[in-house]
Amino acid sequence: MQSNCWFLVVFLTGAIAQAADVCNPVNLTGPYAFQLSGLTNISGEQKPTASLGRLVFDGRGGLKGTASATFSGFLLGNPITGTYEAKPDCSVIWKLQDTSGAFQNFSGTLSPDGARIQFRQTDPGGAQRGIMQKTSDSCSAANLMKKYEYTISGSTTPMRAGDVARTITAKGTLDVAENGGFQVESDCLVRFALTIPVQDGPSPVTMTMRGFLVNGGLEILAFQTDPGAMVSARFSPSSK
């Protein structure tokens, strides 16, 4: 019985090792959109933040793109450049530099098909909830789905007289035709307004959103661009 148990342990250990993901680093190439959110204390006091951007990996360890971030209620944006390294064990690290000369560092795990990266910012105090997905070289309104289901989370800070700090959490369905305000740019950037009910404030509230079409238009990674907002949103195909 003991030898049988030993064989079972060896067999299971070998099966787990064989089940580990293996990636081809060359699959990480072309344009990707990313979304990063959470708390950061990089600038001192811990505060919520949300970021959105588009990176193009050149297949040779270099990348470039654009990134926008909401921090302390302000929306900041910069062109960025950087370097990256993708490994066969699906780990990926990259470094970004903006026009001010500042660097930011990231680490994540690439899916075996090269379509998605779960990541975090590795600088001390950096935000931890990051998702990056493959996007297309170009997009149009034809890439939009008819309906999306969305999840929204984040917070707002007062920026003007009469503003109230709020925690935002919402789920719902967005009908693109009924919304009527979608603008799709050639780099797959989308701009639109989303109206949702808010439990602790006036209802409904209209949010100005910016996002990127990913996964062939099946999903949208987005965030709110209104002053005071640090709010992220994910849109996926509606089952209704």
Q: What is the pLDDT of residue 187?
A: 96
CB 71, CB 154: distance < 8 Å: no
Per-residue pLDDT tens over the stretch 147-185: 999 999 999 999 888 888 888 899 999 999 988 789 999
Per-residue pLDDT band at 202 (split at 50, 70, 90): low
In a domain, 17, yes or no: no
Burial class (CB in 10 A: 0-12, 13-18, 19+), 99: exposed
Are both 103 and 147 inside the same structural domain?
A: no
- Give, in degrees to the nearest 5, the angle at Cα 202 between 179 and 150: 40
Are both 151 and 86 inside the same structural domain?
A: no
In a domain, 76, yes or no: yes
Q: How far apart, in whole angstroms, are the C-alpha atoms of residue 206 and residue 192?
A: 10
Are both 111 and 211 inside the same structural domain?
A: no
Last-in-domain residue among 107, 134, 161:
134
Q: How far apart, in whole angstroms, are the C-alpha atoms of residue 211 and residue 22?
A: 30
Rounded alpha-carbon distances, angstroms, from residue 129 to 39, 49, 51, 193, 223: 9, 11, 10, 24, 14
Range of the domain at 193: 141-237
Per-residue pLDDT tens over the stretch 65-112: 999 999 888 999 999 999 999 999 999 999 999 988 889 999 999 999
Q: What is the pLDDT of residue 46?
A: 85
Number of independent structural domains in the chain: 2
CB 107, CB 44: distance < 8 Å: no
Q: What is the pLDDT of residue 18?
A: 46
Are both 110 and 182 inside the same structural domain?
A: no
Are both 180 and 207 inside the same structural domain?
A: yes
Kindly compute the dihedral angle of the four CA atoms of residues 195, 197, 202, 206, in this order, to the nearest 10 degrees.
-10
Two tokens, residue 231: 């709010």
